[in-house]
Amino acid sequence: MTPASPATIPTLDFKAEADRLLPPGASYDACLACGLCSSGCPASGIDGMDPRRFIRMAMLGLNRELSTTPWIWSCTLCQRCSSVCPMSIDVSVLVSLARGNWPPERRPSGIVRSCQAQLRSASTSAMGVRPEEFVDIVAESAAEVRRQGPRFRRIQPPVDRQGAYFFVNQNSREPAAEPEELGPLWKILDYVGADWTYSSTGWAAENFCLFGGDDDAWRAVVEQRVAAVNALGCRVWLNTECGHSFYSMWRGIRRFGLDARFELDNLISWYARWIREGRLPVNADWNRAGLRFTVQDPCQLVRKSVGDPAADDLRFVARALVGAENFVDMQPCRGANYCCGGGGGALQAGRSGARRSYGRRKFDQIAASGADYVLTPCHNCHSQIEDIGRHYGGDYRVVHFWTLICLSLGILGEDERRYLGPELAGPGLPDRGDDGDG
């Protein structure tokens, strides 16, 4: 690395770094330059860069150009390129390295500020929600839910309950910006009688330090969360509908060798399990109009960590909820799915033109599917797919799973329907006088 002033980007020797990072016997020299990576990458062409060009330039020693290209903030680290590469060349390793090589003041400020907020607070919240604020918001929102009717009188989200089975995490977006989205999750956990708790510390799901290329900060956030789960003695850290939060925790624990005395699981798999066990008796009776639904496979959950079992669960739950005949897959899908363009911190990177250009391929996929709704078990996917829909004039809506589960069970409140269209404003409203056993 050459010496540099704080504001300039140092020059990395990418080939030397690649040789250092790759397992023995592997080499970026093995690249055949076939272009499958770029062919399947929605970021190809942005800033005149693509995965193949990145690798070729690294092998040719064009280190200054690679060290400074802003494309690294458009690559969403989704690893689709390496998954289609016959030589398993992982471009995202070099992109992460390049990100971390940018001085913090040159990195996208949205990512940097979010990461700093996470490091400052015991909540690990990127939106700066402090532990006591989280506890207050949960209590106030729960009171709102209880006011929806007597059947919700038991909704008392536990916090810091020692020995609960599930340690449930929460993306900061809900407590900070849309607390009415908390209710459906609590209703589901209450419906199945889950043994769960929030924690006042380490509860947040998101991890922007991962996206900043700052391994120490990524580790610090994961350590705080692992300590919170260990301290409560919970058996399972249950990741709610958020993709990268699962990957950052799951991968972080392995990568940094942390002592996690619990399992990691994701909420979708538990939805599937509860439906199979008859504990969530959802059906598609509410969808008599035959609204068509598709599902977004979050890269971080499906391709980068759990794999096909997560994709299977997503589809099982979706079909049960909307009716198999009303479900349509985007193409490609599952592990081969395209990133929506909102991953890797892109939504916080401030390059909205590039982000929407990336999202064009997702938009085309959705348009080709003919879906009226996109189910997104991930907050970044949700925001990005909504945004590109507005930008490109899409005629679809984007919705969380928990919304449809509660809709199907007849327990979705009026205020919990912000992502549903007018055609679903009425069906299945909870009867305020109903004291059903739920």
Partner 1 sequence: MSGEPRRHRVQLAVIGSGLAGCAAALFALERGLTTAQVGHSGALAYTSGHLDLLGVLDGRVVDDPWSALGELQRRQPGHPLARIAPETVRHAFHRFTAALSSLGIGYTTPGDRNLRAPTPAGTVKPTLSLPCTMAAGVTAARERSATLVVDFAGLEGFSARQLVANLGPRWPGLRCTRLDFPGMEDGGVLYPEAMARALEVPATRERLAGRIRAVLEGASCVGLPAILGIHRPDRVHRALQRALGATLFEVPTMPPGVAGIRLQEAFEQALPARGLTLVSRQKVTRLQLGKEEATLQLHDSYGPLEIHAGAVLLATGRFLSGGLVADRDGIREPLLDLPVQQPPGRDAWHRDDYLAPEGHPVNGAGIRCDRWLRPLNPDGRVVHPRLFAAGILLAGQDWVRQRCGAGVAIATAFAAVQAAARHLGPGDGDSTPNPG
Q: Considering only 81-89, 90-98, 124-132, 154-162, which stretch makes contact with partner 1 by CB under 8 A?
A: 81-89
CB of 364 to partner 1, least distance (A): 5
Q: For the chain, what is the HEC assignment?
A: CCCCCCCCCCCCCHHHHHHHHCCCCCCHHHCCCCCHHHHCCCCCCHHHCCHHHHHHHHHCCCHHHHHHCHHHHCCCCCCHHHHHCCCCCCHHHHHHHHHHHCCCCCCCHHHHHHHHHHHHCCCCCCCCCCHHHHHHHHHHHHHHHHCCCHHHCCCCCCECCCCCCEEECECCHHHHHCHHHHHHHHHHHHHCCCCEEECCCCCECCCHHHHCCCHHHHHHHHHHHHHHHHHHCCCEEEECCCHHHHHHHHHHHHHCCCCCCCEEEEHHHHHHHHHHCCCCCCCCCCCCCCCCEEECCCCCCHHHHHCHHHHHHHHHHHHHHHCHHHECCCCCCHHHCCCCCCCCCHHHCCCHHHHHHHHHHHHHHHHHHCCCEEECCCHHHHHHHHHHHHHHCCCCEEECHHHHHHHHHCCCCHHHCCCCCHHHCCCCCCCCCCCCCC
361 binds partner 1 (CB under 8 A): yes
35 binds partner 1 (CB under 8 A): yes
Q: Which is nearer to partner 1, 173 or 303 (CB)?
A: 303
Q: Is 253 in the site for partner 1 (CB under 8 A)?
A: yes
83 binds partner 1 (CB under 8 A): yes
Q: Which token pair is 99?
A: 């990100």
* Closest approach of partner 1 to the CB of residue 159, in Å: 25
Q: In terms of CB distance, is 334 or 379 closer to partner 1?
A: 334
334 binds partner 1 (CB under 8 A): yes
Nearer to partner 1, 50 or 190 (CB): 50
Chosen residue from 38, 63, 269, 380 binding partner 1 by CB under 8 A? 38
- CB of residue 327 vs partner 1: minimum separation in angstroms? 13
Q: Which of 4, 16, 29, 39 binds partner 1 (CB under 8 A)?
A: 39
The span of 29-37, 66-74, 102-110, 395-403 binding partner 1 (CB under 8 A) equals: 29-37
Binding residue for partner 1, selected from 365, 376, 384, 403, defined by CB under 8 A: 365
Least distance from partner 1 to the Cβ atom of residue 304, Å: 6
Task: Write the interaction track for partner 1 spanning residues 261-290; mark x where CB under 8 A is met and - where it is not.
Answer: -xxx--------------------------
Q: Is the peptide bond before 86 cis (omega within 30 degrees of 0)?
A: no
| CB closer to partner 1, 44 vs 169 | 44
78 in contact with partner 1 (CB under 8 A) = no
Going 18 to 19 to 20 to 25, the CA torsion angle's sign is: positive
Instruction: Name the one residue in this structure whose structure tokens are 């624990």.
Output: 253
User: Which lies closer to partner 1 via its Cβ, residue 283 or residue 331?
Assistant: 331
Choose, by CB under 8 A, the member of 45, 104, 158, 427 that binds partner 1: 45
- By CB under 8 A, tell whether 335 contacts partner 1: yes
Binding mask 289-318 for partner 1 (x = CB under 8 A): --------------xxxxxx----------
> What is the smallest separation between the CB atom of 391 and partner 1, expressed in angstroms?
13
**Member of 21, 22, 84, 137 binding partner 1 (CB under 8 A):** 84
Binding residues vs partner 1 (CB under 8 A): 32, 34-36, 38-40, 42, 44-45, 48, 50, 83-86, 88, 253-254, 260, 262-264, 303-308, 329, 331-336, 360-361, 364-365, 367-368
